[in-house]
Amino acid sequence: MLEIKNLVKAFGGLRATDDVSMTFETGSLTAIIGPNGAGKSTFFNLITGALTPNSGSIVLDREELVGLSQMQIVRRGIGRAFQIASIFPSLTVEETLLGAAAADSGQSGSLLGRFPAEGTRGEAERVARMLGLWSKRNVPASNLSHGDQKLLDIALALMLRPKVLLLDEPTAGMGPEERWQMIEKVRQLWELEKITVVFIEHDMDIVFKVAPSIRVLCYGRLLAQGTPDEIRSNPAVIEAYLGTAHGEEAA
């Protein structure tokens, strides 16, 4: 279980995360929505240790994460994919995953023996197959489609066997059809891996259809949380967000 309590992050006078408390049950699938600049990415950056909060606590399975380095937090089991896919352009899909596996198994500094490192093949293949990247295993990452690059980013995070996977706009920059395929993959991996998945998403149709639980951020604050039905009928959400969001979506 991931528990966030009274989390605050201020950039100068701007409170990008303003006293946010919420809980993600182990094995849950949650969507985070909110207008541009609501503090969604900042929230992820705080959880992963990319940013240090001004105050508040982040507890994963009874262990406090605030104060740990990014690396330590990764090791504790928080994985993340980035809003802009962060991959290795000249490595093939398979090399990328095998490289991550070598790091995960502590063999990334090994000068003896050949790449791939011992005992890493199976996991790389499993993850690649799960995300539909296996047929492209020999393609350099830079030659992948935008969608596949996002998938590779997610696959990289999975190679570290996270307990919690944070996905920052997995469907960003995709066409409508591609978005649905992507989110379907996310849902599948959540079912298969039985890990906690939290994703940020702008497309309301997707969120309401896919996420059993939704959190709404607005101006750094947690505006509402609940099931799709609860969120849809929440007056505060309608006023602050839903009205404008559909307008933005069209733009």
Which parts of this chain interact with ligand ATP (CB under 6 A)?
A: 11, 14, 16, 34, 36-42
Amino acid making up residue 53: P
Which CB atom, from 71 or from 251, has the smaller least distance to other proteins?
A: 71
Stretch that binds Mg ion, among 40-48, 50-58, 88-96, 212-220 (CB under 5 A): 40-48
Tokens at 220, concatenated? 């750094």
Rounded least distance, CB 44 to Mg ion, Å: 8
Q: Which of other proteins, ligand ATP, Mg ion, none sits in contact with 71, Cβ below 5 to 8 A by type? A: other proteins
Rounded least distance, CB 45 to ligand ATP, Å: 7
Which CB atom, from 49 or from 99, has the smaller least distance to ligand ATP?
A: 49
Rounded least distance, CB 3 to Mg ion, Å: 22
Tokens at 8, concatenated? 């605050």
Rounded least distance, CB 37 to Mg ion, Å: 8
Q: Which of ligand ATP, Mg ion, other proteins, none sits in contact with 11, Cβ below 5 to 8 A by type? A: ligand ATP
Stretch that binds Mg ion, among 33-41, 51-59, 95-103, 235-243 (CB under 5 A): 33-41
- Using CB under 5 A as the binding rule, whether residue 41 contacts Mg ion is answered as yes
4 contacts 58 by C-beta, under 8 angstroms = yes
